Amino acid sequence: MQTGGAITLSQPARFPGPPPDSADAVIIGGGIAGVMTALYLARAGQRVVLCEKGRIAGEQSSRNWGWVRQQGRDPAELPIMIESLRLWDSLNQQLREAVGLHRTGTTYLANTPADLDNFESWLPHARQHGLDTRMMTRAELDALLPNAAGWLGALHTASDARAEPWTAVPAIAALAASEGASLHEDCAVRGIETAAGRVSGVVTEHGPVAAPLVLLAGGAWSGLFAGNAGLRLPQLSVRATVAATGPMPEFFPGNAADSGFAFRRRADGGYTLAQGIGHDFWTGPAAFRNLVAYLPQIRRDLRHTRLQLAAPSGYPDGWATPRRWALDRETPFERMRVLDPAPNLGRIARLSDDFAAAFPALGRPVIARAWAGMIDVLPDQVPVLDESPVPGLFVATGLSSHGFGIGPGVGRVMADLMTGRPAGHDLTRFRYGRFGDGSRIELGFSI
């Protein structure tokens, strides 16, 4: 059985060594999106180099809930997510327990009649794409979760899955390396280089790498990196706290969440718990600069947000974090190899209270470990998957807590975009320029 939580800098690098001095493509960032893009570029015969400033999956790709869900996705994301689930099945066949994929379903639990109405509003999207999503009555839910307290009904997708992020992403990285991708940890990319108006490569802390194609998949750091390259990317990040219980009897095999907390079964016999969409947000220069763009999201989600006055030193939007730097000097990426925020202990206590209230027969769970991660978000809560205004520089970021599940599909899409092949999906919703072309901000679905 696989156990674990967040990958940290204390774990030894598995992919050391300086990168080569040239490649067909360079990927910045070793999260799920970058690793999957590297795998598909290698399979397409490209000489691909992936540079990670710290550890593969050291940030949000090992800190998420482990959900692989179609349910509740933005309609534009759904086709990519449906493809991703098929790709997860294939990865699970290759890598088996390292991925730990189980199709145990996703269930959204209704606390109020308004929740039921909200769930109903997503059903047309499920029907359009042939999903097995359905509403569950209170009686059906009582049979699924006996002895639980208070829920009125649910939205349920039986074909959804769960997996183990902290082992899955490193295993996929090893698979990419075995198929020809060149991966390098402790290798921060300081910036891009251009020639004749297009990208010509990157400068890493170990020297330059010439390449006509570059993918920025830096998670919470992407906006800061883009700004130094002269690009506007209105990305922010929020802290999300997660906990894992010790082993306990299985009372539910899949993923579930209500308006207050979420839970899913783990391969080690415990449960991963999180406070639903609750998060902590630290203000910084980028937050003030992009305030207007985020107003729709603020109006909807402020009640779930705990505001902090100043981002900690060295964080992507910290007040003292440099916004510009020379490529022959140390950068913020080298100063913070892994963004490893402390968990919010108050939220952990609230999680335990919510769990005990929902499952009085089980009582307060024993918390075995807790961690937190910084989730990269964009104003409309869907990603950018596009070529930037600098030809040859592509961007895959702002996955807004959706990244782990949808990562395989994003990687396949970005590999094809970068090599000039059809993406296979309508990517209009994910275009880079949507925040500067006068388009209305349309928020993604939220429970």
The per-residue pLDDT of the chain, averaged, comes to 94
Least confident piece of the model among 31-45, 154-168, 172-186, 267-281: 267-281
The residue among 160, 118, 116 whose CA lies nearest residue 136 is 116
Instruction: Read off the pTM.
Output: 0.96
Among the residue ranges 166-180, 278-292, 324-338, 364-378, the one predicted with the least confidence is 278-292
Tell me the three state secondary structure of residue 139. helix
> Whats the size of the chain, residue-wise?
447
Indicate the pLDDT class of residue 3, thresholds 50, 70 and 90: low
pLDDT of residue 2: 39
Kindly give the pairing relationship between strand 106-110 and strand 67-68. unpaired
Domains of the chain: 25-105+159-435 (3.50.50.60)
At residue 155, the pLDDT reads 97
- 165 phi, psi to nearest 5 deg: -60, -40
Residue 33 and residue 35: Cα distance in Å, rounded?
Answer: 6
In whole angstroms, give the CA distance from residue 381 to residue 399. Answer: 7
> How large is the average pLDDT for residues 206-211?
98
- Is the pLDDT at 53 greater than 60? The verdict is yes
DSSP for 242-253, written as a single string = EEEE-----S--
pLDDT of residue 277: 76
pLDDT in tens, 424-433: 999 999 999 9
What crossing angle do the helices spanning 403-418 and 32-43 adopt, rounded to 10°? 40
For residue 12, pLDDT beyond 90: yes
**What is the structure's pLDDT at 202?**
98
| Percentage of the chain lying above the pLDDT 90 cut | 85
* pLDDT score, position 446: 73
Q: For 327-360, how does the pLDDT look when each residue is reduced to its tens digit (9 = 90+)?
A: 999 999 999 999 999 999 999 999 999 999 999 9
Q: For residues 385-399, give the mean pLDDT.
A: 97
DSSP code at position 360: T
Q: What is the pLDDT of residues 93-118, one digit of tens each?
A: 999 999 999 999 999 999 999 999 99
Distance CA 23, CA 389 (A): 22
Query: In 11-77, which ranges are continuous DSSP H helix?
Result: 32-43, 60-63
Q: What integer pLDDT is reported at residue 311 of this predicted model?
A: 86
- Asked if residue 210 lies in contact with residue 21, where contact means CB atoms within 8 angstroms, the answer is yes
- Are 84 and 409 in contact by the 8 Å Cβ rule? The answer is yes
Residues 80-86, mean pLDDT to the nearest whole number: 98
- Sort 415 into a burial class: Cβ within 10 Å, 0-12 / 13-18 / 19+: buried
